[in-house]
Amino acid sequence: MMKLSFQALGFILFLSFIHSQAALLKYTFVVQETNYTRLCSTKSLLTVNGLFPGPTITARRGDTVIVDVINKGDHNITIHWHGVKQPRYPWSDGPEFVTQCPIQPGANFSQKVLLSDEEGTLWWHAHSDWSRATIHGLIVILPRLGTTYPFPQPDQEVPIVLGEWWKTDIQTVFENFVDGGGDPANSDALTINGQPGDLYNCSISGTTKIKVDRGKTYLVRMVNAAMNNLIFFAIANHSVTVVGSDGAYTKPLKSNYITISPGQTLDFLLEANQPSNHYYIAARLFNGQPSSRFDNTTTTAVLQYAGNYTPSSPPVFPGTLPAFNDRNASFNFTASLRSLASAEHPIDVPLTIKRTLFYTLSINAIPCPANQTCEAIRNTSRFAASINNITFDMPSTAILGAYYRGINRGVYGDDFPDVPPLKFNYTQTSGLNASLRLPEVATEVTMLKHNETVELVFQGTNLVAGIDHPMHLHGHSFYVVGSGFGNYKRKRDSLTYNLVDPPHMQTIAVPQNGWTAIRFKADNPGVWFMHCHLERHVSWGMGMVFIVRNGKSADARILPPPPDMPPC
């Protein structure tokens, strides 16, 4: 055990050596129950260090952060560092039963967060059942010492964490959802930095205020930490200039609204260049299925200029916030992101592809077993979700440990298909044969060779219902080279790819009844979860695992596990 720990320490020293400025930082995360009052009532929620949203981790590019996670709650927990690639070190990645067993009540786990080429904003969150509703926070990754932002130095930085709030305890929401087999209860509010804002009852005193000085520029670091929804966001009378997403810089994109997927981060510049006043910052859902019931509330914060003036009352509301069902506004914003792709921040889009994958994303239905309750499809079924018709069956022990020790038998199979088992009109609006809705339930992984170049086309289907799927890959960033509505046709659609400056992301919304093509190099040996970041979809099984094999050389292999991996 000691030997392993010295090897791991040696790796950190080695990192510090090659980037002489890289630092080793330490944080302590105590998972604990904390009382919070929102929407007229007080409830106890699981937090980190008593904070909602949780503490921000601030580091520089290339640093190593050690986070001692101490579980003082009464609930199994794991923590994931969303967007951090963790080169060769999947052990700290966090998804429950993929890379680790949970940190049980009373236990602790010292996690190493290995930053490499990420720069900008990422976030961390719980990755076990639905605890991430309240267990999340930002990771701010500043440029290395001696380097600067690829845009004018902002006067100040402002964090914005978008969340979703239920009056009921999230664990109860989750259990009712699992037991019922139907849709989960809608949230009761959205939040900006933990506060619903003054369009809800009982929130007026706690509205988030962002105080600005006229003439100054602010760098806003935003994450969508909501559980089940894409979000539209706007600031009254102010445009913003997006400069980064998912821990990579983008070309400046000026817009008077924002679309952000759960899991995604956006960095944008906000110039306080309007008449001194109070302006609403507002956010609400993008919902492509207007017939469904959804949380149609609006969360607000206030952008408050300093100085002596009589503010308008109420504050000015953003007229540019898109309507709930504005698919074009959602698609257009996301499809407009471009990598910065400068000399200082070059990109490396794979141009020769070794492995071509085509994955369908579907909502499924499983006929109601005789002894269960089933709230889906007029109480006849339970919802499921799948990739290439496979509903991911979460094992009860970690896949990474089983793979590393060569004892995979019975834990997972390596037959995840490269293409769906059946071709059909994926996006047909009606009349899809109901028999197609039944998925296969299995724990299958896709093996990738070290440094294999991969193109993966996600195809949304209209089985049960079409909806945007924000797909998230662990351990890698990918280039989003194309997207569109309808069925993907390689001959036609590959001609539209952007191979010049596609955005470098880890979470991308595949449009409703549409497709998205991504490319990446499997250069990070390990076991990496890929899943929809809508919590209800991943709970229904919309996930799969990539295992990137070791390369030949010693520096292309998974590092040994730490001695304190939580046991099952």
| List of residues contacting ligand NAG (CB under 6 A) | 33-35, 44, 70, 76, 101-102, 104, 108, 200-201, 237, 274-275, 277, 296, 316, 328, 332, 335-336, 369, 371, 389, 421-422, 425, 427-429, 435-436, 438-440, 451, 521, 523, 551, 553, 556, 568
Q: How far is the CB of 140 from ligand NAG (least distance, A)?
A: 25
Residue 477 or 539: which CB sits closer to Cu ion? 539
Per-residue tokens: 73: 């709650």
Q: How far is the CB of 507 from ligand NAG (least distance, A)?
A: 18
Is the Cβ–Cβ distance between 523 and 354 less than 8 Å? no
Q: Is 469 in the site for Cu ion (CB under 5 A)?
A: yes
Per-residue tokens: 288: 């492509």
Gap between the Cα atoms of 363 and 510, Å rounded: 14
Contact window for Cu ion (CB under 5 A) among 118-126, 433-441, 469-477, 550-558: 469-477
- Beta strands of 10-87 (E only): which ranges? 24-38, 41-48, 57-60, 64-71, 79-82
CA angle 70-177-46, nearest 5°? Answer: 20
Gap between the Cα atoms of 540 and 51, Å rounded: 29
Residues 6+ apart with CB under 8 A from 314: 198, 280
Is the Cβ–Cβ distance between 544 and 416 less than 8 Å? yes
Residue 140 or 272: which CB sits closer to ligand NAG? 272
> Which of the listed partners (Cu ion, ligand NAG, none) does 432 bind, with a CB threshold of 5 to 8 Å by partner kind?
none
> Which of the listed partners (Cu ion, ligand NAG, none) does 20 bind, with a CB threshold of 5 to 8 Å by partner kind?
none
Q: How far is the CB of 96 from ligand NAG (least distance, A)?
A: 8
Supply the DSSP symbol for 413: B
Residue 469 or 504: which CB sits closer to Cu ion? 469
Residue 170 or 227: which CB sits closer to Cu ion? 227
Is the Cβ–Cβ distance between 34 and 50 less than 8 Å? yes
Q: Is 472 in the site for Cu ion (CB under 5 A)?
A: no
Q: How far is the CB of 533 from Cu ion (least distance, A)?
A: 8
Residue 203 or 507: which CB sits closer to Cu ion? 507
Residue 200 or 383: which CB sits closer to Cu ion? 383
The DSSP secondary structure of 278-324, one letter per residue, reads EEEEEEEEE-S-TTS------EEEEEEE-SS----SSPBP-TTSPPT
The side-by-side arrangement of strands in the sheet containing 79-82 is 57-60, 136-142, 120-126, 79-82
> Which of the listed partners (ligand NAG, Cu ion, none) does 537 bind, with a CB threshold of 5 to 8 Å by partner kind?
Cu ion
> Which of the listed partners (Cu ion, ligand NAG, none) does 421 bind, with a CB threshold of 5 to 8 Å by partner kind?
ligand NAG
Backbone angles phi, psi at 159, to 5 degrees: -85, 140
Q: How far is the CB of 232 from ligand NAG (least distance, A)?
A: 13
> Which of the listed partners (Cu ion, ligand NAG, none) does 535 bind, with a CB threshold of 5 to 8 Å by partner kind?
none
**225, 532, 548, 558: which one contacts Cu ion (CB under 5 A)?**
532
Strand partners, 103: 77
Q: How far is the CB of 537 from Cu ion (least distance, A)?
A: 3
Q: How far is the CB of 411 from Cu ion (least distance, A)?
A: 25
Q: How far is the CB of 153 from ligand NAG (least distance, A)?
A: 27
Q: Is 537 in the site for Cu ion (CB under 5 A)?
A: yes
Q: How far is the CB of 514 from Cu ion (least distance, A)?
A: 13
Is the Cβ–Cβ distance between 141 and 119 less than 8 Å? yes
Is the Cβ–Cβ distance between 305 and 290 less than 8 Å? no
Contact window for Cu ion (CB under 5 A) among 127-135, 255-263, 440-448, 527-535: 527-535
Q: Give the residue among 258, 215, 269, 263 at the shortest CA–CA distance from 234.
A: 258
Residue 145 or 419: which CB sits closer to ligand NAG? 419
Q: How far is the CB of 154 from ligand NAG (least distance, A)?
A: 22
> Which of the listed partners (Cu ion, ligand NAG, none) does 255 bind, with a CB threshold of 5 to 8 Å by partner kind?
none
Per-residue tokens: 71: 């579980």
Residue 20 or 310: which CB sits closer to ligand NAG? 310
Per-residue tokens: 273: 């260049």
Three-state DSSP state, 437: helix
The answer to whether the Cα torsion of 70, 73, 76, 78 is positive or negative is: negative
Instruction: Please identify which residue in the block is written with the tokens 């640093």.
Output: 63
> Which of the listed partners (Cu ion, ligand NAG, none) does 336 bind, with a CB threshold of 5 to 8 Å by partner kind?
ligand NAG
Residue 195 or 512: which CB sits closer to Cu ion? 512
Q: Are strands 230-235 and 258-260 parallel, antiparallel or unpaired?
A: antiparallel
Gap between the Cα atoms of 510 and 387, Å rounded: 13
Q: How far is the CB of 50 from Cu ion (least distance, A)?
A: 32
Q: How far is the CB of 224 from ligand NAG (least distance, A)?
A: 20
Per-residue tokens: 383: 């919802």
> Which of the listed partners (ligand NAG, Cu ion, none) does 401 bind, with a CB threshold of 5 to 8 Å by partner kind?
none
Plot region of 72 (φ>0 → left; ψ -120 to 50 → alpha; else → beta): alpha
> Which of the listed partners (ligand NAG, Cu ion, none) does 380 bind, with a CB threshold of 5 to 8 Å by partner kind?
none
Chain mean position to CA 217: 27
Element (H, E) at 173: helix 170-180
Residue 386 or 507: which CB sits closer to ligand NAG? 386
Contact window for Cu ion (CB under 5 A) among 72-80, 268-276, 334-342, 465-473: 465-473
> Which of the listed partners (Cu ion, ligand NAG, none) does 494 bind, with a CB threshold of 5 to 8 Å by partner kind?
none
Element (H, E) at 399: helix 399-404
Q: How far is the CB of 361 from Cu ion (least distance, A)?
A: 6
Helix locations, 422-558, DSSP H: 490-493, 535-540
Q: Is 534 in the site for Cu ion (CB under 5 A)?
A: yes
Interface contacts to Cu ion, rule CB under 5 A = 469, 532, 534, 537
